[in-house]
Amino acid sequence: MQKIAVIGAGTMGNGIAHVFAQHGFTVNLVDVSAPALDKALQTITRNLDRQVTKGSITEEVKAGTLANISLQTDLAAGVKDVYLVVEAATENISLKLKIFQDLDQHAPANAILATNTSSISITKIAAATKRPDKVIGMHFMNPVPVMKLVEIINGYATDKSITTAIVALSEKLEKVPCVVNDYPGFIANRILMPMINEAICSLFEGVAGVAEIDTVMKLGMAHPMGPLQLADFIGLDVCLSIMQVLHDGFGNPKYAPCPLLVNMVTAGYLGVKSGEGFYKYTAGSKDLVVSERFK
């Protein structure tokens, strides 16, 4: 149970690998891109350095964490002897189904296959394998080393013993597990994304400006970050993808993505990752500057 694999070396994958490794697990971090793996290790190292500076961990813990992580570009080799696989690839259903078909073929027969998906059906992913009883959602929040929640999602066929094991495992990571069932958006995004979408609609309809909408939610509702800034942080493309999952899954027009969100994603204004969304982001600056497009 101490050896796991994380598939995908992006923001979520490197964070998941970091947390497991810091808690004594041996982690194979797997990605088809060697440069992505190198970048992930650099990110983990920087985040560990930040923890050392804050005094939350020692240099010895940092060294041990890094020693627990191995980089691997070959999926079959990376999962051949692990107890658990956590997939954290791009939020794309075709890609995830292919990955889970490969995991089912190469991971040990008793291995649990978890996905960090934020909205895609666990039941659909599990159906791509011959072990749907051992497939479960393990949805970490970003940034993984900081955020306490793990949303654990049961697929239609997930065995109760698997759920129990993943709850216990999450607690070993000093996370707070919340078990939910497999319906579009689960709980976190079923509630969060319509709120973000409504904030975008309010901007689109001219009810208020970017800063005003975010200030109302921060000061009036005690949110640490306004919904438009949060959308930028998540990625507007990810927000759109989840709204489309909700809209398709429920067939209810209340989940229709705001036309402004659609246009921004189409034009490549994705938030922090592209340098501009509702706010403009400059490397090295922490100032929150509203995009000129919304002034």
**Across residues 181-202, what is the average pLDDT?**
97
Q: Do domains 3-181 and 189-294 have the same CATH topology?
A: no
DSSP symbol at 129: S
CATH number of 189-294: 1.10.1040.10
Please confirm, yes or no, whether 189 is among the known catalytic residues: yes
Which member of 68, 151, 154, 170 is catalytic?
Answer: 151
Which member of 28, 154, 189, 241 is catalytic?
Answer: 189
User: Under CATH, domain 3-181 is a member of which superfamily?
Assistant: NAD(P)-binding Rossmann-like Domain (3.40.50.720)
Give residue-wise pLDDT tens across range 88-124: 998 889 999 999 999 999 999 999 999 999 989 999 9
Please confirm, yes or no, whether 247 is among the known catalytic residues: no
Whether the CB-CB separation of 21 and 27 falls below 8 Å is answered with: yes
Dihedral, CA of residue 87, residue 244, residue 250 and residue 230, to nearest 10: 80
The answer, yes or no, to whether residue 54 has pLDDT greater than 70, is yes
Would you list the domain boundaries of the chain?
Answer: 3-181, 189-294
Which member of 18, 116, 139, 202 is catalytic?
Answer: 139
pLDDT value of position 1:
66
Which residues have CB under 8 Å from 213's CB, separation 6+?
A: 199, 202, 203, 207, 226, 227, 228
Unique residue bearing structure tokens 């209810």: 252
DSSP one-letter string for 234-269: H-HHHHHHHHHHHHHHH--GGGPPPHHHHHHHHHT-
Q: Provide the token pair at 179.
A: 């078990």
Average per-residue pLDDT for the chain: 97
Please confirm, yes or no, whether 47 is among the known catalytic residues: no
Which member of 118, 119, 121, 170 is catalytic?
Answer: 118
Closest CA to 129 of 96, 88, 159: 96
Query: What's the rounded Cα separation, in Å, for the pair 234 and 228?
Result: 10
The answer to whether the predicted template modeling score (pTM) of the entire model surpasses 0.75 is yes
